Structure 1
Amino acid sequence: MTEAGHGPGSGRGLLERLRAPRRPRIWFEVLLIAVSYWTYSLIRNAVPEQKSVALANADWIWDVENRIGIAVEESVNHAVDSVTWLIVGMNYYYATLHFVVTIGVLVWIYRFHPGRYAATRLVLFATTGVALVGYYLYPLAPPRLMNGHAFIDTVLVHHTWGSMASGNLKHMSNQYAAMPSMHIGWSLWCGLTIFAVASAPWARILGLLYPAATLVVIVATANHFWLDAVGGLLCLAFGYAVSRAWYGSLPHRLPRHPDETGPHPFSEALRSRLRSRA
């Protein structure tokens, strides 16, 4: 017998079944996220650093921002650096919340909104994937590495840990992968997901405040230009477009609990192949 709604005569095509949201499985999600982040880090750090090109691009970005009147990163960097407790807090914010909040939102959606989880996760994956194209095509030095400017590398000055592009850790990460800013891409993903799905008003407000605070942090620590944040926003827009094209709706508009309860078609195909070889 075949499962109801999944038999050969059910009239449901394979593509429709692939696109149907279903309850995620924890072992698969942990493995997928771990492998995906490892692959992302490997590719990002394998992109040639191209120091001279990255510095030239930084000068161009700085010139453009000056022309349009938004080149205030240096002033913000110096103003915040003068308040030791504030800049130290921002250094640790930059180093930790990027991962902690993102993982926390994933776990929350997985646990309480399983029908929306796959589409929400696809937004994050597509956003991160297209960012790799930006790193490859447009190497960019962060403000703190520019020549002839007075930007302060706040991690080095205040001896805080966490920046993979400063101090003893700088050789473990591509320092010239600043465009687009995934601190903005991921924090906006977190904020919009919380705002769209959470029911408590205070949670929705915090959701919107998180990317706003992240924007201030990436500028104050001289890790990014304002325009890097625009790049992160465009990557996120691409991520939402991919998810909507695949699932036919934005993640928050999908049912909270999935209608599809059967095994994933890929799982079925794998089991069938294994049975045929037995």
Structure 2
Amino acid sequence: MREAVRGRGREAVGQLALTTVLYLVYRYGRLLVLHHEARAFANARSVWDLERAVHLPSETSLNAFFANSELLAIPANVYYATVHFPFAIATLLWLWVFRAPLYRWTRNVMVGLTGTALLVHIFFPLAPPRMMHDLGFVDLAAVYGESVYGSPETDTLSNQFAAMPSLHIGWALLLALALCFAFRSRWRWLFLAHPLITTVVVVATANHYWLDGIVAVALMVVVIALVRAVSAWQARRRVANGEPASAGLSPGEPAEEPGRQLVTAQR
């Protein structure tokens, strides 16, 4: 029992260290494109034109609807500024404690999604809608409350030209799906309200385009497929070496992706 507790403690320290390193790498990588303002604004024009060409709804309509209502704008600003990271940390911590196999799958997909997003941020800097005032956008945080961002000219701690893909939407959907997999209750699908609300909020506050969310979801699907392929490859290697396909997995950890074998490990 004591050895098991020590093992979980070592794992917790390792997971914390891994998360810290990945976060620092992500933050540093985003800063690599701080001085690509011209490209970022040109790309914003291209995204706007593409959305109109494929007849996506105009973000300015939703933005204007919220901008004209303090009762909508202030909660939207608060949701954008305060829910993203706390929800992610709380969900990952709960999964690690109560659904360890699902936590590992979620962590792997999140790492892959975030790493892929970083590459897009570097090679495709994109100015968010709130900077495109000539298109009719209103920065809700600037009007109704203090923004989580400083002036682009003086804010050296964050890259404000990393709108695509939207990790707010990508993370929200991934974590909501993980929580849906973690429970059997028919009410579990209510977790999907989080990515839906997040999508409305990030567009209404003029922090993201619709296409930012679409790209995030597409990348997540690709990453999930890659994680599944890697897991299958590892299982085949173990079988080729004369080991059980589940060797190397923690007790109860599924060899397949959540939604199939994982459901048998649920309470």
TM range (shorter): 0.7 to 0.9
1:185 aligned residue: 170
Task: Give yes or no for contact 1:191–1:208 (8 Å, CA) kept in 2.
Answer: yes
- Contact 1:141–1:175 (8 Å) recurs in 2: yes
Q: Which moved more, 1:243-252 or 1:37-46?
A: 243-252
4+ aligned runs moved over 6 Å, structure 1: none
The reply to whether residue 122 of structure 1 matches residue 108 of structure 2 is yes
Q: TM-score, normalised by structure 2?
A: 0.80
Q: Which of these residues, 142, 160, 170, is aligned with residue 146 of structure 2?
A: 160
Residues 150-229 of structure 1 mapped to structure 2, 5 A cutoff: 150-161=136-147, 163-164=148-149, 170-202=155-187, 204-229=188-213
Tell me how far apart the structure 1 counterparts of residues 128 and 168 of structure 2 sit (CA, whole Å).
13
Is 1:88–1:160's contact at 8 Å kept on the other side of the alignment?
no
Per-residue CA deviation, residues 33-55 of structure 1 (Å, 9 max, x unaligned), is: 12211211111122344111111
Aligned to 1:11: none
Question: Would you say the 8 A contact 1:155–1:166 is kept in 2?
Answer: no
Deviates most, 210-219 or 188-197: 188-197
Choose from 124, 131, 142 the match for 2:117.
131
Residue 170 of structure 1, CA deviation = 3.8
SS in 2 for 1:93: helix
* Higher RCO, Cα 8 Å, sep 6+: 1
Q: What's the Cα RMSD here?
A: 2.4
Higher Rg: 1
Which segment is superposed worse, 141-150 or 131-140?
141-150
Deviations 1:166-185 (Å, cap 9, x if unpaired)? 68984421111111111111
* Matching residue of 1:89: 75
Change (3 A) 1:169 1:209: farther
Are residues 31 and 123 of structure 1, via their aligned partners in 2, closer, same or farther at CA, if it must alter by over 3 Å?
A: same
**Could you tell me how far 1:63 is from its partner in structure 2?**
1.2
Deviation at 1:199, TM superposition (A): 2.1
In the alignment, the residues of structure 1 paired with residue 76 and residue 153 of structure 2 have an alpha-carbon distance, to the nearest angstrom, of: 19
Give 5+ residue unaligned stretches, structure 1: 1-21, 259-278
- 1:250 paired residue among 257, 262, 266: 257
* 1:91 CA drift (Å): 0.9
Match of 2:241 in 1: none
Q: Residues 92 and 63 of structure 1: is their aligned pair in 2 closer, same or farther, counting only changes over 3 Å? A: same
Match of 2:225 in 1: 241
Query: Shift in Å at residue 128 of structure 1?
Result: 0.3
